[in-house]
A and B are shown apart, each in its own frame.
Chain A
Amino acid sequence: MIRGVIIMNDQGKPRLVKFYEFQPVEKQQELIRSIYKILCSRADNVSNFVKVDSLFGPDVRLVYKTFATLYFVFIFDNSENELAMLDLMQVFVETLDKCFSNVCELDIVFNFNKVHTILDEIILGGQVLETSSSEVMKAVDEISKLERSGNSIIPSIPGWQGR
């Protein structure tokens, strides 16, 4: 099972925090700080897995990947395959990239809800739902359409483009 997904930037600022088991918000912030401490001490071109028994209990692992200024972090237990998690992260990033055409940190900062929507289409309750980014895109587009149609007063926040 996937325990959590975190996106944070290279200064340790969280951009997306999603835990699939309830964590009090103070605990979340503490975990993010500890994870950042581990990640920023690691050199480039080293393996992407970190053992985080001390933070999450036995058998829990963390896989991370750096994309430009962002760390993408997946936390999962031993019923997931490590390399498959890396693939899934790739799917997530690909989808973000398609959605925001050339995704950058600011897109994720300004599209809080949409990033959550995308993630919810990929992972539900800690289980992998969809591994094809085009399928995810299809669903997300439909949802955006739905949001726009039923809402004339508040326009749904468009993809942040005017960088």
Chain B
Amino acid sequence: MMDSFFQRSLEDIIKGLRLCPPGTEPTFIAKSLDDIRREIKSSDRSTKATALQKLTYLHSIHGVDMSWAAFHSVELASSSTHSHKRIAFLSASLSFNPSSTDVILLLTHQLRKDLSSSNAHDVSLALSTLSSICNPDLCRDLTPELFTLLGSSKFFVRKKAIAVVLRVFEEYPDAVRVCFKRIVENLETSDMGILSAVVELLCELTVKEPRSYLPLAPEFYKILVDSRNNWVLIKVLKIFAKLIPLEPRLGKRVVEPICEHLRRMGAKSLAFECVRMIVTSLSEHESALRLAVGTVREFLLDDDPNLKYLGLQALAIVAQKHMWAVLENKELVVKALSDVDPNIKLEALRLVMSTVSADNVMDICTILISHALKSDPEFCNEILGCIFLTCSRNFYEVIFDFEWYVSFLGEMARIPYCQKGTEIETQLVDIGMRVKDARLELVSVARDLVIDPALLGNPFVHGVLAAAAWISGEYVNLSRNPFELMEALLQPRTSLLTPSVRSVYIQSAFKVLMFCIYSYVKLDGDDTSYPSGLTESVSERDLGRSFATVGSESLSDSELDNENVVITGGQPPSFSSRKQHLTEESIMGLINLAETNLGPLSGSDEVEIQDRASNVLGFIKLVKPKLHGCLDQSRGDIMKDELKAPEMIKLIYDLFSEELGPVSLNAQERVPLPDGLALKENLGDLEAICGDVEFSLPMSFSLVKPQMAAQDSAHVLECPSKEVCEPSSESTSLLAEHRKRHGLYYLPPEDKEVVDKDYQPTREPKGKAIDATEDLVKLTEPFFVKKKSNRVKPRPVVVKLDDVEEANVLVEKHEFKPDLLSGAVQEVLLGNEATASSSRKSSNKSNNDITNTAESSQASFVGSGRRKHHTHGKGRTNRTSGKEKEERSHKDEHKRDSRDHKHKSRQRAEGTLNVDVQSSVIPDFLL
């Protein structure tokens, strides 16, 4: 008594906590906990209750651990005073962990007593506690009480019992056999509270595994037609949304009632659920869809941001199949883009992107970008990300005008807070490799980027600059002015770049330099046209060509021819300018520029930079003296040795002239295993051998390619010798061999043809290209906003590799895993089929049609069910005993035995009577 007199109440604790100066809260809590630890042991129930109440509060609101007090909750729960009991059960439901609190089982008896109590509030308290703390053992032991409550005459109690059943089924699926029939019976009730609880329960169960509940479709239909309760209707709609995909005939049945509800325009929640139902499951019903889209429009026009947001979401679902719905509401969607609500903006953006097609992509991107520039950086990047993702989708499916897209990418990189550099970088390079026709524009975009010194200072665009530099180097033959490129690539401010980007710059500078020298020498050779030199070079070229054809990759004669065209007058302005530039002085200037800028870098502490700079410098050292020779030659001083200079330059140039193409993601998988190479063999036992004879290991490896190794070593040995030409021709042949291997290995034989075709210029297979475009047009036709007739140019070919596509398409397998719960449900539903359907026949005469459909579906179930019954008469017992075996692990022997007994007797009853009847099943169970 004294204890309780001086004990601080929960209110005191709360007041104390509120008066605590900041920072002293933990001390106060610790002190209170000390008090609680003392008080909670008190023999006086009231003192104990108050202590537990305080502890629960501190646990729930301040995160104090109270697992140590679990037993005290159990103790107090047995109090006869309702308020104590309530405190005890609240603490249990807030703190007990169903899977690890071991004192839960000590509550079994108390809960059973309370569930059978005559006081409705005792029962309801026990039920809500049970739902929070139930574990399989508790559920198993309390199922009989729960079953009784499901038939309780007090509706207040019955609906709570129904709500608890969900948890019990999850934990202990066998409870379904006992309880499910009563739950289904409750569907016939007139009490809204109970009906709502049952429908809610069935909705949760259906979401998990719809198939088992198909036989109940007639009941649900009846509710759908008759009920006026929004809560119930929403849940029934949710159930049908799950059932219709399994039984499409249901769709025709329910579409009219749903439209009825929608037309009535009662609660917005119900209206939205109807809309969602129609757009997800009933979108093939034209009139219903019209109605739903109309409602969505009302939502979008509403001032309530919630309705706007949900409306956009519904529209996004429709958009997958019926683009017209979005187009009809286009202006509202675009308006939503500038909404204050970030949710709505994002949703609208996604919706806009889903409408993108080949014809409107340019317009949409322009609108979005002008919008992005006005909005905050975060949303701007969101927009950019969305655009890049959509445009690159399925190998740039929607892009017809690559010139536009490439220059668009270039512009985007210049947006100050653009953080999508990685995407731009990847796409620029990817387009370069895949879309041949876009390269000219790509090169000019890359030039603009590389040449702009301001961009070098922005770390966000370094990735883009790397891509631009790579493009400038790789496709330098398309460049108007290689000299300015060279200057740009070597400008002093490149020191601001990260080493990895800078090494790309140097490598690109190498390619540009190579190209300039080669063009110069070749031009020179052509102009002077020395017979001997020419023939030799031609024969050499033929050789190279034959390698190329053997390799079947595109070293591309066309490439070389193009080259000639460009140089000799294909494009007059560039030709003349280049010709002007290609003088001895300019070339020497270029070489000197490279030398002065890269000279210091050969001592860089970044290996990549050092390596590449040394490469260029080495090349210059090699070429510079020869160039003088070449110039001499042009002056008419023919010396046979010096002819080799252009040859060498040409050979090195050829090294770079091979076109790089996209490589399939799973190329490695297609490399056939060479004979004698056992990749999958376990090398574990090799260790024993290797331990003894270590030197045998390298030998065994060198056996794989003895020739290669020999040649390599020869190559290395000969390299320093004066005969520069010889080893390089050898290296060319090695290269050719390598290419050949590429051709054979990287792509499978059947693919090779496709790739070859794709690499050809578009103009040649004109018919085919046009066909492809026409197909595309046909495909996208329904989605066009406005048809543009002035598309003169066919879409450039985008190189695709078949298998990449395959790899990207995720095949979703729908797996139907019958779990314990659904198995039990089906059993009960099918077992009860006779009584249920007979009662339905008598009651639902007006609904004959639906009953028939459902019964036909039911019949198939029943058929299989019956077969099961007949043929697996013993199978059932086997199955159950198997199930018990599983459970045996965590059940004590004694209980299992008694349960086994119950089980068997029940099964016997079910087995003999099969259908029906409550009266025979329940008494057996309640024994």
Which residues of A line the B interface, CB within 8 A? 1, 14-18, 20, 22, 24-26, 28-29, 42-43, 45-50, 78-79, 81-84, 86-87, 109-110, 112-113, 116-117, 120, 124-131, 139, 142-143, 146-147, 150-151, 153-154, 156-157, 160
Given that A110-B14, A129-B160 are known contacts, is A116 also in contact with B90, CB under 8 Å in the complex? yes
B238 CB within 8 Å of chain A: yes
**Alpha-carbon distance A14/B128, docked complex (angstroms):** 22
- Bound state CA distance, A124 and B162, in angstroms? 10
Name 19 interchain pairs, CB-CB below 8 A, sorted by A.
Answer: A16-B60, A17-B61, A26-B63, A45-B305, A46-B340, A47-B341, A47-B343, A48-B305, A48-B306, A50-B343, A79-B204, A83-B268, A83-B310, A113-B53, A124-B127, A125-B167, A129-B160, A143-B82, A157-B10
**Residues on A with beta carbons closer than 8 Å to the beta carbon of B268:** 83
Closest chain A CB from B348 CB (angstroms): 12
A46-B86 contact, Cβ under 8 Å, with A17-B60, A143-B121: no
With the chains together, A142 CA to B207 CA distance in Å?
Answer: 36
CB of A154, distance to nearest CB on chain B (Å): 5
B437 at the interface (CB under 8 A from A): no
Q: How far is the CB of B570 from chain A (nearest CB, A)?
A: 56
Q: Which 5 A-B pairs have the closest CB atoms?
A: A125-B131, A83-B269, A46-B341, A147-B83, A47-B305
Residues in A whose Cβ lies below 8 Å from that of B64: 25
Interface flag for B850 (CB, 8 Å): no
Known: A47-B309, A120-B128, A139-B156. A83 touches B272 (CB 8 A): yes
Q: Please report which residues of chain B, range 698-753, place their CB below 8 angstroms from some CB of chain A when the two chains form the complex.
A: none
The residue in chain A whose Cβ has the minimal distance to the Cβ of B98 is A22
Given contacts A82-B272, A83-B269, A110-B14, contact A49 B309 (CB under 8 A): yes
Query: Who on chain A is nearest to B201 by CB?
Result: A127
A151 B81 Cβ-Cβ under 8 A: yes
In the complex the two chains form, what is the Cα distance from A125 to B46 in whole Å? 29
| Residues in chain A near residue B61, CB distance under 8 A | 14-15, 17, 112
Q: How far is the CA of A83 from the CA of B175 in the complex (A)?
A: 33
B86 contacts A113, CB within 8 Å? Answer: yes
- The interface residues of chain A lying within 8 Å CB-to-CB of B65 are 25
- A127/B163 in contact, CB under 8 A: yes
A interface SS class: mixed
- Please give, as numbers and ranges, the residues of chain B lying within 8 Å of A109 by CB-CB distance: 14, 18
- Residues of chain B with a CB closer than 8 A to A112's CB: 10, 14, 53, 56-57, 60-61
Assembled-state Cα–Cα distance A99/B61 (Å): 22
In contact, B193 and A153 (Cβ under 8 angstroms): no
Instruction: List B residues 166-203 near A (Cβ within 8 Å).
Output: 166-167, 193, 196-197, 200-201, 203
Residue of B nearest to A86 (CB): B306
The verdict on B132 contacting chain A, using a C-beta distance below 8 Å, is: yes
Partner of A81, one of B98, B204, B269: B269
B272 A29 Cβ-Cβ under 8 A: no
- A147 cross-chain contacts in B, Cβ below 8 A: 82-83, 86
Is A146 within 8 A of B82, CB to CB? Answer: yes
Q: Are B341 and A129 in contact (CB under 8 A)?
A: no
With A79-B238, A84-B234, A120-B128: A153-B46 Cβ-Cβ less than 8 Å: yes
Chain B residue nearest to A41 in the complex (CB): B342
Given pairs A22-B97, A124-B164, 8 additional interface contacts (CB within 8 A): A43-B341, A46-B342, A81-B272, A82-B306, A83-B267, A83-B310, A127-B200, A154-B49
Interfacial chain A residues near B203, Cβ < 8 Å: 79
